[in-house]
Structures are given as structure tokens and as C-alpha cells.
């Protein structure tokens, strides 16, 4: 099993996306989207084609609405919504010739990218942006702004990123408010790093994510460093302290971690292990910081507050497409109602929301205007064809529901250049 990197690493390496980065000034016209300057990297013009090797970057791009620019992805980008995007291989050793063949403008990667491949990409004038998981909400806000600026410009991209970030955390607060939280519900997240059992430390991003479920994350206080009072904490579990904390539910990175707990001489006696309340959410998934944040919170809430039959064998919670359709519609400022239909020559905010969603999915051939014309009908028919619907070209309730669903399929190639 590959050794996991420490989860609390902030934005790293060649390109550090930090709060000191100035994205829209540096002497440039603030109304001008490009060039974008981030640390030692300059993006001269808006990228038309992006390859995401980092699954976290892909998750954030999707949350902002720039996944329509994805020309390729790594095998680690397992989000269901990205299945339509062709794979270019692993995130560390992708097929560099395929990426070059796509004529990619920007590649989002992480620190695992092979140095020789990185060098080759740069020699082809392909910008390489390296990121990893943000450690705090403030850092994540900066990361959203930086990724948005790179993909869509200083003004346009950052504004879309800001709206996406605010929507995301408003939705997090809403999910937390809807959970059947109890101070007596305890849980935690565990993973294996080689032969060592680890967790995410107190106040790390994942600790904050787990706390958003309304339950108490007891595993964050069971590390060796906390017991010994050390300032360095890599999340290594102190077995006796974990035994005393005795979480009611345990979320595990994979089956190997589940098996480790079941076969451990001490930990097999934990209540969660004996009652088979062990649930898998992958290590990569729990670190994704786009829409996967909502998906994972809801998955954990579903387990802890809706699964009352704890003696049945545990299964992996659904980690894709579990966000209610209304949350997607809310992002665009439209309320879907039974019997609703938008018609030819309508001109209003709902039409604008529809067009923006179709544009983000890659179906609009022109920029959204809020006027329902023949080009909107063409975009709807194109969407219906790609999504297995009857090609009516009507924005009725059935079609609108599909358009604003989390599993709406994107156009393989965007209908317009942006």
C-alpha cells in the first residue's frame, strides 16, 4: 500500500497558492481578466483546455464550473461527474504525449508528478500548477480564488470562485442544521500509513469536516503527539487512548484499515468494531475540497443518523451524487417547481439561470443573455441527446430537473470557446 502523505499539508511546491498572492493587481487593469499572475507563474490568456491530474483540483474546478474546460484527467479523478472526461493515466506518471496532443494550456497537478514529465510539459509551454489540500477554511478560500483566476481570469474567474465557495459552505451549514446531531454521537476517521494507524489531527480540515456532521470527532484527540505533548503531530494513533475514546462510528480509508481494526488484539473490542459500524470513505475522497465536501458530510450523516440497524454488515456510504437537486439549482438562483416550464421568448432570471447552467455544462453556443431564443432550444436539445432524454427542446420540469441534477452529463467538447 502506497505511503500516504500527511493530510495537513497546505498548498505546496512549485506554485504556492497562499494568502500573500495578488491575483488582480500588480499594476494591471483590475477590470482585465488576463494576464493572471500567481506566485512565479503568469497565465497570459484564458486557458481553453485544462488537464487535471490532481483529483482535488478537479473537484474544485467542478465546484466553480470550469470542469467544462477539462480535456483530460488522471485515473485518480474518480468523481462520477468526470467519467466523461478521457483519462491520461496516473497523476504521477501520466501519458505526457497524450497531454501534449490535447494541446493543453494548463495542467493542475500535485507533488507526486514525475519531475521529468513536469519538465517536458514546461518545455512545451504548458503551464503546470501544483496544489495539495488546504488546511483551513481561509486557505481554501484563497485556493478557490487562485484556481478560479487561472481558469477564468482575475475578475470573472475569481467572482465565480467566490460564489461557488460561499454556496458550498452555506450548504455545509444547512446540512449541519438538518442533521440529527447528538453530543453523544461519537465518530472518527482512521487510515493506515504503512503499518501505522493514523487519523487527522485536531483542527485540520478533515477534523472540521467531520465536526460539521454534528457528531464529536473523538479520534482527533487520540494521537501519540497529543499524549506526549509534542508540537509535531503526524496523526499516529495511541492505541490505549483510542480504546478509551471508543467511538460509536468509525470511517475508514479502505478495506485494509477495516481489516486492521478487526484483527487488532485491542481495537477489535471497540464498540464500533464489534457492532460492525465501520464504513469506508476513501482517503483521496475525504481530502477533496470541491463538491465532495458536501457528498462526504451527507454520507457520514446518512450513516450516523439514518442507519438504525447497526447489526447489519456495513457498506460503503454513497460518495457520489447524493446532494439534493435543489442545492444545485440554488447555486444558480432558480427554484424548481412541479409544472414549471420556460418558453420561447421568455426573458427573466430563471432563463438566465438555465443558460448559465447549460453554459457551464458546455452546451450553449453563445454567452447567456437571459432571453430564451432559438439558440437556447438548440442547447437544450443537445443536452437532451447527451443525457438520454427525448429531444423536445423544451425547458419543462422534467428537463430542468435533469439539467440541474448532480449527474447531468457535460458536453464532451464545449459548444463555444470562452
Tell me if residue 348 falls in helix, strand or coil. coil
pLDDT bucket at 418, cuts 50 / 70 / 90: low
pLDDT digits 0-9 by tens, 25-81:
344 444 589 999 987 889 999 999 999 999 999 999 999 999 999 999 999 999 888
Q: Which of 143, 219, 156, 223 is nearest to 188 (CA)?
A: 219
Cα–Cα distance measured from residue 410 to residue 401, given in angstroms and rounded to the nearest whole number: 15
- Interval 94-112 mean pLDDT: 96
Residue 24, pLDDT score: 36
State which H helix or E strand residue 107 sits in.
strand 106-109
Cα distance between residue 259 and residue 111, in whole Å: 30
Tell me the C-alpha distance between 152 and 164, whole Å: 13
Query: What pTM was computed for the model?
Result: 0.67
pLDDT of residue 129: 96
Are 333 and 366 contacting, i.e. CB atoms less than 8 angstroms apart? no
Q: Where are the domains of the chain?
A: 36-171, 179-306, 327-403
Question: What per-residue confidence (pLDDT) applies to 178?
Answer: 65
61/374 Cα distance (integer angstroms): 30
153 is written with which cell numbers? Answer: 481570469
Mean per-residue pLDDT of the chain: 84
* 198 SS3 class: strand
Top pLDDT among 328 and 401 is at: 401
Report the 10 Å Cβ neighbour count for 271.
14
Is the per-residue pLDDT at 269 higher than 50?
Answer: yes
Supply the DSSP string of 27-39, one letter for each residue.
Answer: TS-TT---SEEET
Q: What is the pLDDT of residue 308?
A: 40
The separation between the first and the last C-alpha atoms of the chain, rounded to the nearest angstrom, is 42
Between strands 249-252 and 341-342, the pairing is unpaired
Taking 90 as the threshold, does the pLDDT of residue 265 lie above it? yes
- Contacts of the segment 347-354: beta carbons below 8 A, 24+ positions apart: 347/371, 347/372, 351/376, 353/329, 354/395, 354/400, 354/403
Cell of 103: 494541446
* Banded pLDDT at 180 (limits 50, 70, 90): low
Does residue 153 have a pLDDT over 70? yes
User: How far is CA 219 from each of CA 3, 268, 300, rounded to the nearest angstrom?
Assistant: 20, 16, 15
Residue 131 corresponds to which cell in the numbers above?
A: 496544489
In this structure, is the dihedral angle defined by the CA atoms of residues 168, 325, 397 and 361, taken in order, positive or negative?
positive
Q: Assign domain 36-171 to a CATH class.
A: alpha beta
Q: Tell me the mean pLDDT in the region 103-120.
A: 96
Nearest to 235 by CA among 12, 10, 7, 9: 7
Return the DSSP state at 387: T
State what percent of residues in the chain have pLDDT above 70. Answer: 85
How would you label 355-390 residue by residue, b for 16+ Cβ within 10 Å and e otherwise?
bbbbbbbbbbeeebeeebeeebbbbbbbbbebbeee
Contact 173, 327 (CB under 8 A): no
The band of 16, judged by pLDDT with boundaries at 50, 70 and 90, is very low
Residue 120 above 70 pLDDT?
yes
Give the pLDDT confidence score for residue 48 in this predicted structure: 95
Tell me which of 330 and 130 has the higher pLDDT: 130
| Spatial separation of the C-alpha atoms in residues 317 and 377, rounded to whole Å | 38
For 143, the enclosing helix (H) or strand (E) is helix 137-152
In whole angstroms, give the CA distance from residue 116 to residue 113. 9
Q: Which residue has the higher pLDDT, 107 or 184?
A: 107
* pLDDT value of position 313: 32
- For 345, which DSSP code? T
Q: Which residue is it, cell 456532521? A: 213
Residue from 281, 314, 311 nearest 297 by CA: 281
Instruction: Determine the average pLDDT of the residues in 145-154.
Output: 96
Closest CA to 65 of 127, 188, 156: 156
Q: Are 384 and 399 in contact (CB under 8 A)?
A: yes
* Section 161-172 average pLDDT: 91
Sequence-ordered list of residues with C-beta below 8 angstroms from that of 20, at least 6 positions apart, any chain: none
Confidence of residue 179 (pLDDT cuts 50, 70, 90): low
Distances 339 to 42, 183, 398, 399 between C-alpha atoms, Å:
49, 42, 9, 11
Answer yes or no: is pLDDT of 274 > 80. yes
For 281-290, what is the mean pLDDT? 93
Contact (CB, 8 A) for 235 and 198: yes
Equal CATH topology for 179-306 and 327-403: no
- Tell me what the mean pLDDT of segment 260-284 comes to: 93
- CATH number, domain 327-403, options 3.30.420.40, 3.20.20.450, 1.10.101.10, 3.90.420.10: 1.10.101.10
pLDDT band at residue 323 using 50, 70 and 90 as cut-offs:
very low
- pLDDT surpasses 80 at 12: no
Q: How far apart are the C-alpha atoms of 37 and 331, rounded to whole Å?
A: 28
Task: Summarize the confidence of residues 279-298 as an average pLDDT.
Answer: 92
DSSP secondary structure code for residue 405 in this structure: S
Residue 181 is predicted with a pLDDT of: 52
Question: 244 pLDDT exceeds 90?
Answer: yes
pLDDT at 406 (0 to 100): 75
Interval 333-385: pLDDT, tens: 888 777 889 999 999 989 999 999 999 899 999 989 999 999 999 999 999 99
Q: Cis ω on the peptide bond leading into residue 35 (within 30° of 0)? A: yes
Q: What is the mean pLDDT of residues 386-397?
A: 87
| Structure confidence at residue 182 (pLDDT) | 53
Is it true that domain 179-306 has CATH number 3.40.50.1980? yes
Q: Which residues pair with 371 in a beta bridge?
A: 347
Amino acid at each position: 500500500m502506497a505511503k500516504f502523505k500527511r493530510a495537513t499539508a497546505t498548498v505546496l511546491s512549485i506554485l504556492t497558492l497562499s494568502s500573500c498572492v495578488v491575483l488582480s493587481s500588480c499594476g494591471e487593469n483590475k477590470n482585465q481578466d488576463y494576464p493572471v499572475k500567481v506566485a512565479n507563474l503568469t497565465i497570459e490568456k484564458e486557458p481553453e483546455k485544462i488537464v487535471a491530474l490532481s483529483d482535488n483540483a478537479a473537484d474544485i474546478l467542478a465546484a466553480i464550473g470550469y470542469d467544462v474546460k477539462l480535456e483530460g484527467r488522471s485515473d485518480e479523478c474518480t468523481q462520477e461527474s468526470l467519467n466523461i472526461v478521457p483519462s491520461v493515466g496516473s497523476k504521477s506518471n501520466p501519458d505526457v504525449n497524450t497531454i501534449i496532443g490535447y494541446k493543453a494550456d494548463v495542467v493542475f497537478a500535485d507533488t507526486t508528478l514525475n519531475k521529468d514529465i513536469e519538465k517536458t510539459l514546461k518545455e512545451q509551454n504548458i503551464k503546470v500548477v501544483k496544489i495539495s489540500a488546504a488546511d483551513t477554511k481561509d486557505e481554501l478560500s484563497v485556493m478557490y480564488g487562485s484556481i478560479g483566476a487561472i481558469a477564468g481570469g482575475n475578475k470573472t474567474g475569481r467572482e465565480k470562485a467566490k460564489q461557488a465557495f460561499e454556496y458550498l459552505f452555506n450548504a455545509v451549514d444547512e446540512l449541519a442544521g438538518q442533521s440529527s446531531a447528538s453530543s453523544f454521537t461519537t465518530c472518527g476517521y482512521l487510515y493506515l500509513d504503512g503499518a501505522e494507524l493514523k487519523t487527522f489531527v485536531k483542527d485540520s480540515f478533515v477534523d472540521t469536516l467531520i465536526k460539521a456532521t454534528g457528531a464529536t470527532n473523538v479520534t482527533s484527540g487520540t494521537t501519540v503527539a497529543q499524549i506526549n505533548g509534542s508540537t509535531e503531530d503526524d496523526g499516529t494513533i495511541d492505541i490505549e487512548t483510542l480504546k478509551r475514546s471508543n467511538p460509536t462510528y468509525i470511517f475508514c480509508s479502505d478495506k485494509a484499515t477495516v481489516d486492521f481494526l478487526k484483527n487488532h488484539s485491542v481495537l477489535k473490542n471497540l464498540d464500533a468494531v464489534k457492532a460492525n459500524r465501520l464504513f469506508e470513505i476513501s482517503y483521496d475522497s475525504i481530502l477533496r475540497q470541491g463538491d465532495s465536501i458536501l457528498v462526504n458530510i451527507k454520507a457520514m450523516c446518512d450513516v450516523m443518523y439514518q442507519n438504525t440497524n447497526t447489526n447489519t454488515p456495513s457498506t460503503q456510504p454513497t460518495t457520489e451524487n447524493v446532494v439534493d437537486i435543489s442545492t444545485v439549482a440554488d447555486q444558480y438562483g432558480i427554484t424548481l417547481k412541479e409544472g414549471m416550464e420556460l418558453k420561447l421568448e421568455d426573458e427573466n432570471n430563471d432563463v438566465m439561470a438555465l443558460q448559465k447552467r447549460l453554459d457551464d455544462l458546455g452546451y450553449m453556443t453563445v454567452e447567456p443573455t437571459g432571453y430564451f431564443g432559438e439558440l437556447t432550444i438548440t442547447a437544450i436539445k443537445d443536452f437532451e441527446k447527451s443525457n438520454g432524454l427525448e429531444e423536445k427542446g423544451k425547458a419543462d420540469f422534467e428537463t430542468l430537473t435533469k439539467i440541474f441534477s448532480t449527474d447531468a452529463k457535460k458536453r464532451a467538447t464545449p459548444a463555444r470557446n470562452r
